[in-house]
Amino acid sequence: MNIGELASAADVSTDTVRYYEKQKLLPTPLRQPNGYRSYGPEHLGTLRFVRSAQGLGFSLREIRDVLPALAQGRFKRGQIEERLQAKLAEIDQHMALLRQRRKELLATFASLQCAPDAPLAPAQATTKAHSASAQARGRKPAGTHLLK
């Protein structure tokens, strides 16, 4: 199949196919006598695997690292499970950070709602935001010991 047919079958653009080739994510295709690339079912399978792994949050580098072993059938179930567990832990960490930032944003918003019509200089707004976010984290805002 040609590049357009491969791209269509994998639901990606031809630019994506070319990019993945440059990034060594796809095996080098054979060339037809007219110079066009010729792709086989292994290219389509690899392309679908790359897109699926990306959808699960794996980077192209992470995907590229496992492709040779997968292609040669040397990648074992336990290795796949390890990588999936590591990705889950990474996502859990990121979600915890996002939950914390959400709390900080809500605390900042609440502190600004206390006096909605009062004008704030930029420095005051950031100080209020910093104080609110520190309170959301259960800490004293920086510099509060100077106010005692």
pLDDT in tens, 86-105: 999 999 999 999 999 999 99
Residue 125 domain-assigned?
Answer: no
pLDDT at 46 over 70: yes
Confidence of residue 136 (pLDDT cuts 50, 70, 90): low
> Is it the case that residue 131 has pLDDT exceeding 80?
no
Residue range 48-75, pLDDT digits in tens: 999 999 999 999 999 998 888 887 777 7
> Does residue 1 belong to any structural domain of this protein?
yes
Structural domain span for residue 49: 1-75
**CATH code of residue 29:** 1.10.1660.10
Domain assignment present for residue 44? The answer is yes
Give the pLDDT score at 86. 94
When pLDDT is averaged across residues 29-45 and rounded to a whole number, the result is 93
Look at the chain and report how many structural domains it folds into. Answer: 1
User: 3-class SS at 30?
Assistant: strand
- Is there a domain that residue 9 lies in? yes
Within a domain: residue 98?
no
Cα 104 to Cα 3, 25, 93, 118: the distances in Å are 48, 40, 17, 21
